[in-house]
């Protein structure tokens, strides 16, 4: 099976649209998890999943879609590149920010986890 040059933009548009829909689904699942989870750390996990996959997938999808839009001319490569760079920055910085927030809350002993099974950083929080 050989894919012709004329079918390539259609395939890229389908892939880009699928990534946009996948990002919307990840954001929806994240919002549901944020609402249903009872613990601060679990809610932080759900929010991080939403911020990472709810933004990285659509950014990559929009980059792929921008490549297929002929009306943008030369600027389609700028839009695609900016989307890829933004996705990379979110992919690197969002987990670091989430970890810093969780570590700060744990050190301040603000959020307690019940039931607590084990806490190797501060055993007093489980007691």
Domain ranges in the chain are: 8-126
Q: What mean pLDDT is predicted for residues 65-71?
A: 88
Q: Return d(Cα 44, Cα 38) in angstroms, integer.
A: 11
pLDDT of residue 112: 78
Q: Return d(Cα 60, Cα 80) in angstroms, integer.
A: 8
Q: Which two tokens stand for residue 92?
A: 């690197």
Name the architecture of domain 8-126. Orthogonal Bundle (1.10)
Q: What is the 3-state secondary structure (H, E, C) of 67-83?
A: HHCHHHCCHHHHHHHHH
The kind and range of the H/E element at 16 are helix 8-36
Residues 33-66 pLDDT 10s: 999 988 888 899 999 988 899 999 999 999 999 9
Q: State the pLDDT confidence band at 94, using cuts at 50, 70 and 90.
A: very high
């Amino acid at each position: 099976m050989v894919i012709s040059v004329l079918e390539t933009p259609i395939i890229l548009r389908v892939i880009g649209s699928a990534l946009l829909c996948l990002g919307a689904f990840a954001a929806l699942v994240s919002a549901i998890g944020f609402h249903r989870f009872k613990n601060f750390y679990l809610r932080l996990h759900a929010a991080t999943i939403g911020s990472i996959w709810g933004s990285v997938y659509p950014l990559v999808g929009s980059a792929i879609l921008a490549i297929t839009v002929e009306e943008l001319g030369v600027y389609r490569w700028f839009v695609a590149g900016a989307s890829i760079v933004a996705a990379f920055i979110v992919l690197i910085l969002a987990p670091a920010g989430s970890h810093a927030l969780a570590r700060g809350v744990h050190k301040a002993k603000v959020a307690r986890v019940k039931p607590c099974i084990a806490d190797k950083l501060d055993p007093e929080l489980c007691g």
